[in-house]
């Protein structure tokens, strides 16, 4: 099983200078920003390219797509909006049965779904989600940086409870980073767990 996790795409700024907008351009603070919609569109060919990928590519075209559900306490539609264009292109439903905070529920649903699976989630709980999926079998960073919308975490089930953790920089839009979350953050986590 391959599970790919992304953060929802770019959002409105806290200072009010960058607005969230619906797909028809109306202001909505729970929606993506214009740059976020650009990323959502670019993710279509990132995950569903027109030409075959190299054999060693870590990214795969998903057969199941999940996004965190909007709730009264967390009404953000950004995770759903991030994967809707890809789901439409692949003629797949976006499964949204679980809100942020329900990482165990979504992990169980993902592991029971057809793979590869893609999850769009909120960055603060992505490390928790990754560890719940793998049974704490990976060393991943403890946090997802606030300013990063351009990374994919890839979890590959190697069998017998072993998982491989990888990161891929999307590099889809101008000013996207070419590097992933620095390895020293992962190495620091390993030392703190063993010490």
Relative to beta strand 117-121, strand 2-7 is parallel
Q: Is 136 exposed, middle or buried (0-12, 13-18, 19+ CB in 10 A)?
A: exposed
* Predicted local distance difference test score (pLDDT) of residue 184: 59
Question: What domain count does the chain have?
Answer: 1
* Predicted local distance difference test score (pLDDT) of residue 88: 97
* pLDDT at residue 15 greater than cutoff 60: yes
Using CA atoms, how far residue 53 sits from 128, 150, 176, in Å, is 30, 20, 21
* pLDDT at residue 189 greater than cutoff 50: no
- CATH number of the structural domain spanning residue 95: 3.40.50.1240
Q: H-helix or E-strand containing 29? A: none
Provide the whole-model pTM. 0.90
The whole-number average pLDDT for the span 88-94 is: 97
Q: At what angle do helices 103-112 and 126-134 cross, to 10 degrees?
A: 50
Domain region containing 147: 2-194
């Amino acid at each position: 099983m391959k599970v790919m996790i992304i953060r929802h795409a770019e959002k409105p700024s806290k200072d009010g200078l960058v607005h969230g907008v619906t797909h028809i351009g109306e202001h909505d603070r729970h929606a993506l920003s214009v740059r976020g919609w650009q990323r959502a569109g670019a993710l279509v060919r990132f995950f569903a390219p027109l030409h075959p990928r190299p054999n060693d590519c870590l990214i795969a075209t998903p057969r199941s797509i999940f996004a965190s559900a909007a709730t009264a306490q967390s009404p953000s539609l950004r995770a759903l909006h991030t994967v809707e264009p890809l789901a439409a292109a692949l003629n797949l439903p976006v499964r949204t049965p679980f809100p942020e905070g329900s990482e165990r529920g979504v992990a169980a649903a993902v592991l029971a779904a057809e793979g590869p699976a893609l999850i769009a989630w909120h960055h603060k709980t992505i490390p928790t989600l990754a560890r719940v999926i793998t049974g704490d079998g990976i060393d991943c960073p403890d946090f997802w940086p606030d300013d990063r919308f351009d990374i994919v975490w890839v979890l590959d089930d190697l069998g017998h409870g072993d998982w491989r953790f990888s990161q891929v920089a999307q590099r889809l839009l101008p000013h996207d980073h070419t590097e992933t979350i620095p390895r020293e953050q992962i190495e620091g986590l390993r030392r703190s767990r063993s010490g």
